[in-house]
Amino acid sequence: MFAYLGNSNQIEYTDCVTVDGRIVYPQVLPLSKNGKALTTIGIPLKELIESSRTVTAEELHDLIKTHLKKYIDAPEQDIELFTLYISYTWFYPKLNTAPYLRFIGDTGKGKTRMLRVISDLCFYPITAGGDSTSSGIMRLNEQWHGTLRIDESDIKDGLENEFIKYLNLGFEKRNYFIKTNAANFEKQDVFDPVGPKVIAMRKPFRDNATEGRLLSFSPRETARKDIPIILPTTYDAEVERIRALIAKFVICNWSAVEEGKTLEFNDIDLEPRLKQLAMPVSVVLQLMPDDEDRFRNYMIRRQEEVTKTRSDSWEGMLFNYVYSLAIGDEEPVEGFEGYFVEGKVVAIYPFSGGKKIRYKHKKCV
């Protein structure tokens, strides 16, 4: 059924609505072979929405954070980001862009747990697992337009190129993905890939454009003894209860969130890409203005982490060395003194930097 806020500010339900003269019915959950509804899509339950209490934005924020801390281990500032991202997914149609949340790390670091626990509270989590194909994922997402959650290990080999294009287009509205219908070559299938996505993977995407659409987090193996190794039998019931609370809150506060109103971050030094990712998530701060400074401070720390990670990478080390060579902070390696005149560099060739880097790398090994 559709749930909506009635004239008396009470949540009401209907089995259809009329849009532009057309009668529209709710989507139907996929069924198993024995006729039971599958949990491929996480939707709020009507009976739990009706029995849920009304909460403030701050109460809901704290409730989500408490739930996350119970099942995942991450620094406080990152838990804050995950909580805001969850809230953002319920309001994402009010924005033109949709950043993705990505967990990256080796096996056993907890990325799949984070994927599950965080996406379970996002708007309509869509599970793409079990050797999913790109076409299957696209069609399911086209039906529901929820939060697509993807575990890299569940995706078939060979999907990457097509799915990368789908992810790149899904960052912004009005970027449609068009495929030729396999049953009728004269017919085209049009997909709208826009929407939030939560991804777990072991290695970065090879496509820089895809990497630029991600709020990325690298989990570590937890030492906390209070986090269950296996999710308890009570977990699903907890998720359904919180999901219903969120749904009720969103229905009651939908009109309070102004479309397209986000923080600009012009007062802090963020690179354009990080700013573009942070702005959509900040839309929910309209409901919690007291948290604006905390979010700004988080983004400053995130920029520092991004800069440090980039500097520590192989490419970053090369750049930093060549830059230091260019400004005179580094001495040239033997055989390249002729490229310096009066203590200033006149030319840097790839081999002049490469020889020094190889030498330093060997010493470290």
Give me the chain's average pLDDT, please.
85
Q: At what angle do helices 57-71 and 235-253 cross, to 10 degrees?
A: 160
pLDDT in tens, 16-52: 999 999 999 999 888 888 888 887 899 999 999 999 9
Residues of the chain with pLDDT under 50: 154, 156-159, 353, 359-365
pTM of the model: 0.83
Q: What residue segments make up the domains of the chain, in order of their start? A: 27-255, 318-364
Q: Which letter does DSSP use for residue 293 in this model?
A: H
pLDDT value for 268: 87
* Superfamily name and number for 27-255: P-loop containing nucleotide triphosphate hydrolases (3.40.50.300)
For residue range 116-162, what is the model confidence (pLDDT) as tens digits? 999 999 999 998 765 667 788 888 899 999 999 988 754 544 445 78
CA pair distance 299, 40, nearest whole angstrom = 33
Dump strand ranges (E) for the chain.
Answer: 2-5, 11-14, 17-19, 22-24, 100-104, 125-128, 147-151, 177-180, 188-191, 197-201, 214-217, 340-341, 344-345
The residues, ordered by sequence, that sit 6+ positions from 29 with a Cβ below 8 Å of its Cβ are: 37, 38, 40, 41, 43
